[in-house]
Amino acid sequence: AAAAGGDVLYIEDNPVNALLMQTLFQMRPQWRLRVAADGAGGLAEALRAPPRLLLVDMHLPDMNGIELLSRLRAHATLREVPAIVVSAAAMSADIERAQAAGFAAYWTKPLDLQKMLGELDRLLA
């Protein structure tokens, strides 16, 4: 499926997970993936060039994903940007807390790549 294209910011401290996502994005060359390794870097990068979509790890070295989303939402240019959790933490309480904080979806690791590509196609179309 071809999407219209889009700029996605992935905030992830694990280089292996970032590499996996970069590899996945090669399957959709019309998309551009940027990676930030911590919350502060992700916030700065999102403010520098607001993305169409945010992918956020819940366990960053300097803050958790919910705190980061709150900081992102404090800026008018980032309030409406959809944000998705990408995390190994899959307890129902974690998912409920993230959804209550405003995340649009919660993807658990290991990722279901076909499902993820389908959701990205839909969000970036």
Per-residue pLDDT of 41-66, as tens digits, reads 999 999 999 999 999 999 999 999 99
The number of distinct structural domains making up the chain is 1
CATH number at residue 50: 3.40.50.2300
Residue 79 domain flag? yes
Which regions in the chain score pLDDT beneath 70? 1-5
What is the pLDDT at residue 22?
Answer: 94
Residue 58 domain flag? yes
Residue 124 domain flag? no
C-alpha 53: how far from its chain's center?
A: 7
Q: 79, 76, 80, 78: which is closest to 50 by C-alpha? A: 78
Residue 125 domain flag? no
Asked if residues 107 and 84 have their Cβ atoms less than 8 Å apart, the reply is yes
Residue 96 domain flag? yes
Q: Domain span at residue 30?
A: 6-114
**pTM of the full predicted structure?**
0.93
Residue 90 domain flag? yes
What tokens appear for 97 in the block? Answer: 């807390």
Cα angle 54, 42, 62; round to 5: 120
> Other C-beta atoms within 10 Å of 74: how many?
10
